[in-house]
């Protein structure tokens, strides 16, 4: 059942989104992360002044902060406070770039790091 | 009989007819330059294999003999059936087997597709495609604004009178009032450096608008996916709108002759927006939630609750769910509807801004029925 649902999720066409390019739900992976699940889910919003959102809502519930989008190159930056498995505070710093801006299922690729580890990530808008 | 006719016609000269690309673009229902390059003119001669007489654009397929003798099938894209019929040709004008000569523009992707500015019978040179730009009939004299018995202006046709609808917008592009920016009928800028002058966009919106322009508006969801022309765009389309006042039910229906041929409701029963935006399962909507009130001779419509799944302008200006439109419909005389709109969208723009144009009454005609759903499966 879980597998079937996952397949549906993975093949669901991206909803049209012609407004702010980051707004929406994003699904992807961040490699090398031993603290959190390698699957990455982001829900992002834009209120006209700030980008807000949550990493892995429902599980990790990491609120993003200091989020920005530089339209010169469509460069994305955001951060999120978390805790490792021992309870030690971590701060994720995530930097990427929007690819295929014109597509509903556009992607953001880049790198992430915290005080313990780092890696690459890619997420695609759903 | 047809082959005999063709043999007879074969004695005549083959002629090429040069049509004005600008006029073709005026008639087209979306940005032709999204797909075709007007700097790459080409001529093809071939034999018709198929005529696909459907919206949004008619296609004629022809076999063209190439250098080594092989045949290649090319798709010639033409205007919509409505525009072609208004210009005097129909689905029987060309038949499979006809030799034709086509002049037009090559596809940007290098494929075997071509925009046809002119089509002539190869045997005779007789022009069979001759799209003439649509223009409203000249006004003989200004007629007064028609009114209901209570003196409120009528927005649509007179009861028992001739049919009619509103079309021929004086502007087909949404730009801030006072801005004079060269662009084509579908909002494609002549000079990309003019982008910041179009409207007071936030940096991300300006960058997105510019990116859409650089791609020749090819990502327009109305063009690609038949999404509705919500917002002011519904009053800048090729095939016009009808305004149907249902006074008994206190609402005005806006019937849209372009896009996917749908409609919008403006409520005039005094309801507010409270409890609707975000409260209705239907929200947000392509046409938003419009609430209208009369201010002397003008219907003022406050519309909110738009989704972000469409382009609300021909040129690709972005908007967000925070979009609010205040539209003012003023029938200044029988044949003229003045449309003023103020755009408030703090998600995409730095301040409210306004744009205005007029529509002409097309008397005695039913609104054309154009379905962009055709040819999309």
Residues paired with B289 in a beta bridge:
B304
Cα-flanking dihedrals φ and ψ of residue A52, to 5°? -125, 165
> Comparing A56-60, B49-53, B66-70, which segment has the lowest mean pLDDT?
B66-70
Chain B neighbors of A21, CB-CB under 8 A? 204, 208
* pLDDT average, residue stretch B30-43: 88
* pLDDT average, residue stretch B333-346: 97
pLDDT of residue B187: 95
pLDDT of residue B278: 52
Give the whole-angstrom CA distance, residue B92 versus residue B276. Answer: 51
* pLDDT average, residue stretch B162-182: 93
Q: Which residues of B207-236 are buried (b: 16+ CB within 10 A; e: fewer)?
A: bbbbbbbeebbbbbbbbeebbbbbbbbbbb
- Categorize the per-residue pLDDT at B276 as very low, low, confident or very high, splitting at 50, 70 and 90: low
Residue of chain A nearest B345, judged by CA positions: A48
Q: Do A18 and B348 touch (CB under 8 A)?
A: no
Tell me the nearest-neighbour CA distance from B9 into chain A, angstroms: 49
pLDDT of residue B30: 66
Q: Chain A neighbours among B 19-38 (CB < 8 Å)?
A: none
**Residue B128: CA count within 13 A, CB half-sphere:** 21
Q: Do B347 and A47 touch (CB under 8 A)?
A: yes
Residues 6+ apart with CB under 8 A from A65: A78, A79, A80, A81
- Which carries the bigger pLDDT value, residue B143 or residue B130? B143
Give the whole-angstrom CA distance, residue A11 versus residue B153. Answer: 52
- Categorize the per-residue pLDDT at B13 as very low, low, confident or very high, splitting at 50, 70 and 90: very low
- What is the number of CB-based contacts under 8 A between chain A and chain B? 58
Residue B249 has pLDDT above 50, yes or no: yes
Name the residue among A50, A49, A53, A100 with its Cα closest to residue A74.
A100
Residue A9 has pLDDT above 70, yes or no: no
Q: What is the CA radius of gyration of chain B?
A: 23
Token readout for B362 is 């097309």
Residues paired with B147 in a beta bridge:
B153
The segment with the largest mean pLDDT, out of B78-82, B194-198, B237-241, is B194-198
Tell me the nearest-neighbour CA distance from A48 into chain B, angstroms: 4
Residues paired with A125 in a beta bridge:
A26
| DSSP sequence for chain A | -HHHHHHHHHHPPPPP--SSTT-EEEEEEETT-SSS-SEEEEEEEE-SS-EEEEESTTTT-EEEEEEEEETTTTEEEEEEEEE-TTS-EEEEEEEEEEESTTSTT-EEEEEEE-SS-EEEEEEEE-
> Comparing B149-158, B256-265, B286-295, B349-358, which segment has the lowest mean pLDDT?
B256-265
Chain B neighbors of A101, CB-CB under 8 A? 208, 211
% chain B with pLDDT above 70: 88
Bridge-based pairing of strands B289-295 and B263-267 is parallel
Report the SS3 class of residue B221: helix
How many CB atoms lie under 10 A from the CB of residue B183? 18
Residues 6+ apart with CB under 8 A from B165: B240, B241, B242, B257, B361, B362, B365, B366, B367
- Categorize the per-residue pLDDT at A26 as very low, low, confident or very high, splitting at 50, 70 and 90: very high
Choose among B207, B219, B320: nearest Cβ to A46: B320
ipTM for the complex?
0.89
Report the SS3 class of residue B200: coil
Tell me the nearest-neighbour CA distance from B207 into chain A, angstroms: 6
Ramachandran class of B151: left when φ > 0, alpha when ψ lies in -120 to 50, beta otherwise: left
Residue of chain A nearest B203, judged by CA positions: A71
| CA dist B142 → A16, B336, B339 (Å) | 45, 9, 18
Residue of chain A nearest B346, judged by CA positions: A48
* pLDDT average, residue stretch A93-111: 95
Q: Is B212 on the interface with A (CB under 8 A)?
A: yes
C-alpha distance across the termini of chain A, in Å: 21
Give the whole-angstrom CA distance, residue B159 versus residue A65. Answer: 60
Q: Do A74 and B207 touch (CB under 8 A)?
A: yes
Report pLDDT digits (tens) over B103-137. 999 999 999 999 998 899 887 888 877 666 677 87
Report pLDDT digits (tens) over B62-72. 999 988 789 99
The model carries a pTM of 0.85
Q: What is the mean pLDDT of chain A?
A: 89
Token readout for B179 is 């801005």
């Amino acid at each position: 059942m879980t597998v079937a649902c996952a397949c549906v999720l993975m093949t669901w066409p991206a909803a049209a989104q012609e407004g702010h390019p980051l707004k929406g739900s994003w699904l992807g992976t961040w490699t090398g992360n031993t603290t959190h699940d390698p699957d990455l889910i982001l829900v992002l919003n834009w209120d006209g002044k700030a980008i807000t959102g949550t990493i892995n809502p429902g599980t990790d519930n990491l609120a993003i902060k200091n989020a920005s989008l530089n339209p010169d190159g469509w460069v994305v930056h955001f951060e999120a406070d978390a805790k490792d498995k021992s309870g030690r505070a971590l701060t994720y710093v995530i930097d990427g770039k929007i690819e295929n801006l014109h597509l509903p299922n556009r992607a953001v690729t880049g790198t992430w790091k915290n005080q313990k580890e780092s890696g690459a990530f890619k997420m695609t808008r759903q | 009989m047809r082959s005999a006719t063709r043999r007879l016609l074969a004695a005549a000269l083959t002629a090429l007819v040069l049509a004005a690309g600008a006029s073709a673009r005026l008639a087209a229902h979306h940005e032709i330059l999204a797909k075709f390059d007007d700097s790459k003119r080409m001529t093809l001669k071939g034999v018709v294999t198929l005529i696909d007489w459907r919206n949004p654009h008619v296609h004629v397929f022809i076999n063209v003999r190439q250098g080594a003798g092989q045949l290649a099938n090319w798709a010639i894209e033409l205007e919509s059936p409505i525009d072609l019929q208004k210009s005097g040709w129909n689905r029987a004008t060309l038949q499979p087997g006809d030799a034709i000569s086509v002049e037009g523009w090559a596809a940007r992707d290098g494929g075997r597709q071509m925009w046809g500015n002119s089509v002539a019978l190869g045997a005779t040179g007789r022009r069979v495609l001759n799209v003439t730009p649509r223009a409203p009939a000249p006004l003989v004299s200004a007629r007064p604004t028609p009114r209901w018995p209570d003196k409120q202006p009528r927005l649509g046709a007179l009861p028992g009178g001739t049919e009619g609808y509103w079309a021929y917008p004086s502007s087909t592009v949404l730009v801030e009032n006072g801005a004079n920016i060269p662009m084509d009928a579908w909002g494609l800028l002549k000079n990309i450096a003019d982008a910041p002058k179009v409207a007071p966009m936030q940096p991300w919106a300006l960058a997105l608008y510019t990116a859409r322009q650089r791609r020749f508006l090819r990502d327009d969801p109305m063009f690609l996916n038949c999404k509705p022309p919500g917002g002011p765009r519904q009053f800048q389309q090729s095939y016009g709108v009808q305004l149907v006042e249902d006074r008994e039910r206190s609402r005005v229906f806006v019937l849209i002759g372009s896009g996917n041929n749908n409609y919008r409701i403006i409520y005039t029963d005094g309801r507010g927006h409270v409890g609707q935006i975000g409260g209705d399962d239907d929200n947000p909507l392509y046409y938003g939630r419009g609430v209208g009130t009369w201010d002397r001779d003008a219907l003022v419509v406050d519309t909110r609750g738009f989704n972000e799944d469409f382009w609300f302008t021909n040129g690709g200006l972005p908007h967000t769910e925070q979009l609010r439109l205040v539209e003012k419909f003023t029938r200044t005389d029988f044949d003229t509807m003045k449309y003023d709109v103020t755009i408030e969208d703090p998600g995409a723009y730095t301040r409210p801004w306004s744009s205005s144009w007029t529509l002409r009454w097309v008397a005695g005609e039913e609104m054309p029925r154009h379905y962009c759903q055709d040819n999309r499966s």
